[in-house]
């Protein structure tokens, strides 16, 4: 089966590798244009492009696929490349561009999406982060037949994954990326023998996983300690939950819910076990922190470089 692949980040690279290693013919890869990254802001290829180039797979990087959009020449070139590739199916994983109708209709078997949630829960851009933030006990992978809606297509394969109490977006991402790679191979093997069954998504239980905004990183110590703890894990590694200490930014990566009481943001204790901070309900014992330009450190090491005492206040209320 000839499979065109469209994806950009590490989540997608894992799926591309599984397809390639399973022996599917991949005549073309679509991925986002190179982006500035690192200290020098040099242009960096996406993880998907890096894999494709390393294995001799042709790559196209259109800025848009809309033939009548802002970059019609990019879309026209991509269309020519897709027609030349003659795909039977397109596999899409965290690509980052909207697929217009002409793309969805081009492969005879359509476009299959690897989505990191149990649809219809958490349609949209950030399903992994939102599942952790909401306190969901499980999530999973849905292989979906794409249509013109936002993650509204029929489900083809679904497999759940438990969200562990210690899971961050980074660790859950890796679990789901591996599962997505396995399931898309299974889906295409089933498609080849006519064994895929399409199931419409339920009308009930629809939620939307809106894109993570950097502004969400600021910790509101007036919130419930359990809510803040989940946000720490949901925003790890990006954008990283943050507070301030005497006006200096402070990243808070890990914490454990405790039962202390005090004014929101007030430091209740600071020792090798962590830095306990009062919240709107309960308290949060911060166990991994980071100062600007520094490394992520366990609380014991952090306090060696920046001793803290009870009574100091984190966040906007600090004086």
| pLDDT tens, position by position, 2-19 | 999 999 999 999 999 999
Per-residue model confidence as pLDDT tens digits over 178-226? 999 999 999 999 999 999 999 999 999 999 999 999 999 999 999 999 9
Whether the per-residue pLDDT at 318 is higher than 50: the answer is no
Half-sphere exposure of 224 (CA within 13 A, CB side): 6
For the chain, state the CA radius of gyration. Answer: 22
CA distances from 214 to 25, 33, 238 (A): 39, 22, 8
**Please, where in the chain does CATH 3.10.25.10 lie?**
215-305
Residue 245: partners with Cβ closer than 8 Å, 6 or more residues away:
308, 312, 314, 318
Q: What is the pLDDT of residue 319?
A: 36
Token digits of residue 185:
């191979």
Residue range(s) of every CATH 3.40.50.170 domain in the chain? 3-209
Q: Are 27 and 113 in contact (CB under 8 A)?
A: no
Provide the CA 201 distance to its chain's centre, in angstroms. 22
Domain over 3-209 is classified CATH 3.40.50.170: yes
What mean pLDDT, rounded, does the chain reach? 96
What CA–CA distance (Å, rounded) separates 278 from 276? 7
pLDDT value at 144 more than 70 = yes
Place domain 215-305 in its CATH homologous superfamily: Formyl transferase, C-terminal domain (3.10.25.10)
């Amino acid at each position: 089966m000839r499979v065109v692949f469209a994806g950009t980040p590490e989540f997608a690279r894992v799926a591309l590798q599984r397809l390639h290693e399973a022996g599917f013919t991949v005549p073309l890869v679509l991925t986002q244009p190179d982006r500035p990254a690192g200290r020098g802001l040099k242009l960096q290829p996406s993880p998907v492009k890096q894999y494709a180039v390393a294995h001799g797979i042709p790559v196209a990087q259109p800025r848009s696929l809309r033939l009548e959009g802002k970059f019609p020449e990019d879309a026209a070139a991509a269309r020519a490349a897709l027609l030349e590739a003659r795909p039977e199916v397109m596999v899409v994983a965290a690509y980052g561009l909207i697929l217009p109708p002409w793309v969805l209709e081009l492969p005879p078997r359509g476009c299959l999406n690897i989505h990191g949630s149990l649809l219809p829960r958490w349609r949209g851009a950030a399903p992994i982060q939102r599942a952790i933030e909401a306190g969901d006990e499980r999530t999973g992978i849905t292989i979906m037949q794409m249509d013109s809606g936002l993650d509204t297509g029929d489900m083809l394969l679904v497999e759940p994954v438990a969200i562990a109490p210690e899971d961050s977006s980074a660790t859950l991402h890796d679990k789901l990326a591996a599962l997505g790679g396995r399931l898309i191979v299974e889906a295409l093997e089933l498609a080849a023998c006519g064994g895929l069954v399409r199931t419409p998504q339920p009308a009930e239980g629809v939620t939307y996983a809106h894109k993570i905004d950097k502004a969400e990183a600021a910790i509101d110590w007036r919130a419930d300690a359990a809510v803040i703890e989940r946000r720490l894990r949901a925003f790890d590694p990006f954008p990283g939950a943050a507070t301030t200490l005497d006006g200096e930014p402070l990243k808070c990566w890990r914490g454990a819910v405790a039962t202390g009481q005090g004014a929101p943001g007030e430091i209740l204790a600071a020792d090798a076990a962590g830095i306990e901070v009062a919240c709107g309900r309960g308290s949060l014992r911060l166990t991994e922190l980071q100062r600007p330009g520094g490394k992520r450190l366990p609380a014991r090491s952090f306090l060696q470089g920046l001793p803290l005492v009870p009574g100091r206040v984190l966040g906007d209320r600090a004086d």
